[in-house]
Structures are given as structure tokens and as C-alpha cells.
Amino acid sequence: MADAVAGQVAKLQLDEETGEMVSKGELKKRLAKRAKKAAQAKAKAEAPEKAPVAPKPKTEEAKISEPTNMFAQGWLDEVYKERPVKPVVTRFPPEPNGYLHIGHAKAIAVNFGFAKYHGGKCYLRFDDTNPEAEEEKYFTAIKEMVEWLGFKPYAVTYSSDNFDKLYEKAEELIKLGKAYVCHCGDAEIKAQRGGEARGPRFRCAHADQTPEHNLSEFRAMRDGKYKPREAFLRMKQNIEDGNPQMWDLAAYRILDAEHHRTGPKWKIYPTYDFTHCLCDSFEGITHSLCTTEFIQSRVSYEWLNKTLGVYEPMQREYGRLNITGTVLSKRKIMKLVTEKYVRGWDDPRLYTLIGIKRRGVPPGAILEFVNELGVTTAPTNIQLARFDQTVRRYLERTVPRLMVVLDPVPVVIEDAEEMELEIPFSPKIPEMGSHKVKFTKTVYIERNDFREVDSPEYFRLAPGKSVGLLQVPYPVKAVSFTKDGDKVTEIKAVFDKSGKKPKTYIHWVAEGSRNVEVRIHNSLFKSEKPDDAEGGFINDINPNSEEIWPHAMIESGFDEVKARAPWPEAAGESELGKGGLESVRFQAMRVAYMAMDSDSTDDKVIFNRIVSLKEDAGK
Ligand code: ATP
Ligand code: MG
């Protein structure tokens, strides 16, 4: 007895700060707490006085603060320092000719995020100068995706809003002697550009026309005198410049198309090179951020604004985000959709934003992903697994847990009685609370958690072997089972009250649990480079990209999880009225992260797997 006490005392250690003798564990806890406090105080003392403060999360749930590293350091920080103005004004300028994809999420995060971080504003500007490719549905879908990602455009604008103003600027340019109407065809234009075989660059005779002549020709273009390709307006830039963007680019061309906003009013439409820099100028854009394929265009962008003497925004270029192991091009996705390899543009296996959304990926996880990658001038090539890893980490700390059995087999526990269990929604986040689940004499477990023949290295259920049922006070031991052909139809078991702790716990659901369908999505393609497949990307399609479990079951806690959606709670999805079924997210313990699919009805609930629980699972 005395020895035991002495032993215990010997185990105690001195807390030097308080002079108390405490257990080793307690001391460790205290020291860790003090170290954390000291680190916090140090960080506070060292923080620069005017360090930009990250916007406060909307609720107490500090676990989902907005990621801001990409703005506080690196390329975007340098861009801001180059022009440290207030307010920052940016724009996200999609062409409304298709659905957005994961790459666009970077552009959205960069433009909207940069403005938000600096307390400025960002326009959503539809770059609708190409009437032939535009469709109403894309306008709506693009705006919805921007809002879903948590951004509110300062205003939604259209390049076409400026058609009158742009036309005036074109006349102004002509009067300045800096634009001319040209009637050359493709071959002539090519010859003028010069080159090794063709000799030096030169201008055509149209460049020598007087401003008066050009003005009347331009008005004739406007009034329908010419057919498409018979005439176009060219800027008179600097053909001595080494940059092809200065070789008298087209400013206006004739198109035989009605515009979805201006109708038949215009026969001539401005080009990207003429429109973009001027619309940026009209909107007072301070930092015009675009991708690096526009580096060469910076010269012509600056030239036009300077020549016209209008406000000059600053264009800077960042690297595109490319994802390997999938295809993003509109044409290719269109083929997958029309040939029915996928369920539509929003198929959860696609990396369109509507597809990623439908799969259940939370918008916050996408922003976190972009933030983690950071922004530089180099293109970023990322594997799908890396994206999934970020999503998994995000879900791990933001969604509740439930039990879902994909392939149920009944276990009748002969000595069990019905009881009510109190199960926490998350073992890690007590604030999520708990819910009551009925435990029934018959429960359903996963078919592959049972083996007809036991073996020593196997730790789940088998005849004579016990396994823990998650949250249930006693393990169960199988005693017998019945089969129909090859298939086990029922397992009989008893509670194992020996007091021995089971090696493994498995998930289960009670009798009477809801029947649901679960769709497990695997990679749509077999390789990292679908485009390199012999015969094209279609030949690289993974035949097992969608596995369906039509008879899955989910525990009753689902009702509360659904009622409390969106998860993460208060993430803003519902505030914007965009929180659809996909915001009903949870971790199906031991199975996968899941979200409700938009195909669900009142009678039939369908889940998508968002991501597996571990990196290699399901590959
Ligand atoms: P297209 O290939 O048909 O021109 P796009 O992919 O360039 O289409 P836009 O609508 O022009 O689509 O894109 C809007 C904005 O998103 C542009 O500023 C563009 O630079 C940016 N963007 C497009 N793809 C990516 C990407 N993969 N990574 C980062 N930004 C992107
Ligand atoms: Mg484009």
C-alpha cells in the first residue's frame, strides 16, 4: 500500500510556475496551454500595425473563416503594392458561352476576393461581344455560381451596355488618325504581317486614307453597306513594334447576327481587343487581373486607353489553373453530355462548377483550394486527388456524422432489447450537439463487415467473433447465419458482455431506417491525361466511374441534419437562397462524405459521394 502511494508520488512532477506537484499528464497540458498563450501574445506584438484584417466569420463558428493568404502575400500582394489605391475596383469578365469550370473558380476567387480583401468592389461583367455564341441560360448559370461561391457582384454589367459609347470612341479614334477602315482579305493581312518567307511587315494602302474618308466608311459599315468580311475597322498602332498585338489589330467587324440584348440594332460588333480595355476604363477598374495568355495584349490594352486619353486601369496576368485527369473544354464536355457518358453538364464526375456543386463540394472548400495553391504567374497543374484532399479536410471539420449502410444485411441480436442512444453529431465538435437514435433488436450492418469463416487477422463480425457497434454499449458476437444461395440473408448474434474491449467498431442502422440510393463516383477517366489516349479522350473513360447502391439505409439522425442544412452551418449558402439539396452534407462513418443529390424526391432520397474518407479508397 505504502509502496503504491510512494510510486504515485514519484510520478508527480513540479509545476515550476505554480509550485504545485501535479501528474505528468496535467503538467503537459498546462505547459501546452501556456505555450499557446505565449505564442498568441507574441504574434499579436509582432503584427504590423495596419495588417489587413480578415473579414470576421458571420457566426461564432470560427472554423470556417475565409482564406486570405493569397491576397496577403505573393503575387497579388505585389500587384496591390504596385497600385495601392482605394477603393480597389476589379471585374470578373466571363464570356456567356458556356458553363464555368474549376479554373474559373480561380478567376472568381482572384477578382472578387482581391476586391473584398481590400474593401473594394468587383463587377460581374458579361463579355457579350460575340452574339453568335451566347445563350441566356449561361448568363443565369454564371451569376448563380459567383453567388454560390459567396460573392456579391457590386453590379452586373454587360460589355454590350457600352455599345453606343464604344462606337463613339471608335469615331474618336478615327478622327485622331489612329484607325482606318480596311478591305483586305485574310491572305493580304497575312502578307502584311511579314515574316521570314514573306519579307518585312508593311501597311496596306487603306492605312493612308484620310480621317474623313475612314469616318464615312465606318458609318457605311454601321449602316449595312458591307457584308461580313468586306470591311473592318483597324487600329493604327505601331507595326515597328515586335509584338504582334501592335500590328494594326481589328477594332470592329461586321456580323450578320442579332444580339440577345441589343437585338438587330448593330451590324458591327467591337472586338475583344477594342472592348475589354475600354470597358475596364469606363468602370474605373483599378487592377485588371487576367490570365497569362493576355500578356502580349497588355501593350495594346495600354495603347488604346492612352491614345484616347481615358482613365487607365492596370492589367496584370496570373497563371491559369489546370486540373489533370479530367477534361474542361466546352467542346469535350458537350460530347460527354450529348453521347450520354454523363448525366448532364452538372454530372458530379465533371469539374464544371455546377457539377462540383451537385456533387456536394462546399463553396468554402473551393476557395480554400484556390487559396492553398496561391497565385503566381506560372500555370498551376493539379491532380484531382489534391483537390479531393482539400475538400476532405474541409468537410472533416465542418460536417456532422451519421451512419449509412450501403449493402445492408440484418443482424438479429437475440438478447437485445430496444433502447434509445444519444449519439453526438461529431466526436470532434461538441457544439454540433447530439441526436437520439433508437437501437433495435434487429440492426443492419454492411455485408462486407461479416465473414462466414473467421480468421485470426480479421477483426470484424464472424461466427464466434465479437465486434463493436458504434455507440452501442456492448459488442455483438455472431452465433449463426442463414443463406439463400451464395448470399447471407440473416445473422444471429448475442451481446458480448464479457467486458473485453472490441478490436474494431462497425457502423449499423436500426430496423425501420430509411431506404436510400447512394451513388459513388470514381474518376471519370482512367489516366492523368485523357487527351493523350489513343483515339481520343473518350477511349480513356473509366467504365466504373459510377457505382450505385440502390438499397442503402440511413439512420434517423438524417432528418435533423437535413433540417439544419446548409452544412457547414451558416456558411452563407442559404443566405443567398442558393442552398440546394447538395448542402445537406455529412460524413457517413466508415463509408464516405456524402451530400443529397438534386435527383432526390420526397419518396426517394439519393446521395452522392463527395469524396472518400481516405485518399486511396475507391481508386
Ligand atoms: P474560352 O476558352 O472559350 O475563351 P475561357 O475559359 O477563357 O473561355 P472566359 O469566359 O473568357 O472563359 O473566362 C472568364 C475569365 O476566367 C477570364 O478572365 C479567364 O482568363 C478566366 N479563366 C478561364 N479559365 C481559367 C483557368 N483555367 N484558370 C484561371 N482563370 C481562368
Ligand atoms: Mg476567353
Confidence class for position 1, pLDDT limits 50, 70, 90? very low
Average pLDDT of the segment spanning 389-417: 97
Residue 333, ligand 1, Cβ within 6 A: no
Rounded to the nearest angstrom, the distance between the alpha carbon of 555 and the centre of ligand 1 is 43
> Does residue 24 surpass a pLDDT of 90?
no
State the DSSP code for 530.
G
Q: CA 105 to CA 590: how far, in whole Å?
A: 31
Residue with cell 451596355: 161
Rounded to the nearest angstrom, the distance between the alpha carbon of 106 and the centre of ligand 1 is 9
Residue 100, ligand 1, Cβ within 6 A: no
Which stretch of 35-49, 272-286, 579-593 has the lowest confidence by average pLDDT?
35-49
Closest residue by CA, ligand 1 atom 15: 94
Q: Ligand 1: which of 91, 95, 104, 289 to mutate, most ligand atoms within 8 Å of CB?
A: 104
Residue 332, ligand 1, Cβ within 6 A: no
State the DSSP code for 130.
-
Closest residue by CA, ligand 1 atom 22: 104
The structure's pTM equals 0.86
Confidence class for position 617, pLDDT limits 50, 70, 90? very low
Ligand nearest to the CA of 94: 1
Q: CA 424 to CA 471: how far, in whole Å?
A: 9
Question: What confidence score (pLDDT) does residue 557 get?
Answer: 97
Residue 95, ligand 1, Cβ within 6 A: yes
Measured from the Cβ of residue 302, the count of other Cβ atoms closer than 10 Å reads 15
What are the pLDDT digits (tens) for 525-535?
999 999 999 99
Q: Ligand 1: which of 75, 95, 114, 290 to mutate, most ligand atoms within 8 Å of CB?
A: 95
Rounded to the nearest angstrom, the distance between the alpha carbon of 145 and the centre of ligand 2 is 17
Q: Is the dihedral of CA 233, 237, 238, 243 positive or negative?
A: negative
Residue 344, ligand 1, Cβ within 6 A: no
Q: CA 597 to CA 604: how far, in whole Å?
A: 10
* Atom nearest to 329 CA in ligand 1: 2
**Active site positions, annotated:** 95, 320, 330
Average pLDDT of the segment spanning 379-394: 95
Rounded to the nearest angstrom, the distance between the alpha carbon of 98 and the centre of ligand 1 is 11
Q: Ligand 1: which of 273, 291, 332, 366 to mutate, most ligand atoms within 8 Å of CB?
A: 291
Q: CA 218 to CA 223: how far, in whole Å?
A: 9
Evaluate whether 423 touches 469 at the Cβ level (below 8 Å): no
Residue with cell 462546399: 362
* Atom nearest to 108 CA in ligand 1: 16
Confidence class for position 56, pLDDT limits 50, 70, 90? very low
Residue 405, ligand 1, Cβ within 6 A: no
Cβ-in-10-Å burial (0-12, 13-18, 19+) of 38 comes to: exposed
DSSP line for 433-498: -EEEEEE-SEEEEEGGGB-SS--TT--SBBBTBEEEETT-SS-EEEEEEEEETTEEEEEEEEE--S
Question: What confidence score (pLDDT) does residue 48 get?
Answer: 38
Rounded to the nearest angstrom, the distance between the alpha carbon of 146 and the centre of ligand 1 is 14
Closest residue by CA, ligand 1 atom 8: 95
Question: What confidence score (pLDDT) does residue 131 get?
Answer: 87
Domain ranges of the chain: 162-276, 404-507
> Does residue 16 surpass a pLDDT of 70?
no
Q: Is the dihedral of CA 253, 256, 258, 262 positive or negative?
A: positive
Cis preceding-peptide flag for 408 (omega within 30 of 0): no
> Does residue 3 surpass a pLDDT of 50?
no
Closest residue by CA, ligand 1 atom 20: 291
CATH number of the structural domain 404-507: 2.40.240.10
Closest residue by CA, ligand 1 atom 6: 104
Fold of 162-276: Glutamyl-tRNA Synthetase; domain 3 (3.90.800)
Residue 290, ligand 1, Cβ within 6 A: yes
* Atom nearest to 293 CA in ligand 1: 20
**Vertex 210: Cα angle to 206 and 214 (nearest 5):** 65
How many CA atoms within 13 Å lie on the side-chain side of 191? 7
What are the pLDDT digits (tens) for 244-264?
999 999 999 999 999 999 999
**Vertex 557: Cα angle to 390 and 490 (nearest 5):** 100
Average pLDDT score over the chain: 90
Confidence class for position 79, pLDDT limits 50, 70, 90? very high
19 vs 591 pLDDT, higher one? 591
Ligand nearest to the CA of 373: 1
Provide, rounded to the nearest whole percent, the portion of the chain with pLDDT above 70: 88
Helix boundaries (H) for 176-312: 186-192, 211-222, 272-282, 297-308
